């Protein structure tokens, strides 16, 4: 199982444009084979900050996601919208 978060921070005044790009990939990603969870959140105190929580069945499913047109289009259209590079963090599940 692959668990990760992806954090994005929009430049001042670019929040709406980033919101549109990020929300556009929710439905197609959720329909991908191997996608278990794909949720987008917006920071309550800073509307420029967004967070994806993602879960894929395995590395192949995640790698396939990264090659999908909706994902590559997103990456191509981020230019000029972000304050900094996205922060991607992978996690190991802890079973108790």
pLDDT tens for the chain, residues 1 to 96:
999 999 999 999 999 999 999 999 999 999 999 999 999 999 999 999 999 999 999 999 999 999 999 999 999 999 999 999 999 999 998 988
Phi then psi dihedrals of residue 75, to 5 deg? -60, -45
How far apart CA 75 and CA 78 sit, in angstroms, is: 5
pLDDT for 46 equals: 98
pLDDT at residue 96, rounded to an integer:
85
Q: Classify domain 2-91 by CATH number.
A: 3.30.70.100
Where do the domains of the chain lie? 2-91
């Amino acid at each position: 199982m692959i668990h990760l978060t992806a954090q994005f921070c929009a430049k001042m005044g670019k929040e709406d444009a980033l919101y549109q790009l990020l929300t556009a990939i929710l439905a197609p990603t959720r329909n991908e084979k191997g996608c278990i969870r794909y949720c987008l959140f917006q920071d309550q105190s800073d509307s420029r900050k967004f967070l994806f929580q993602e879960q894929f069945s395995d590395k192949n499913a995640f790698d396939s996601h990264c090659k999908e047109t909706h994902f590559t289009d997103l990456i191509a259209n981020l230019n000029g919208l972000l304050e900094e590079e996205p922060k991607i963090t992978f996690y190991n599940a802890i079973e108790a």
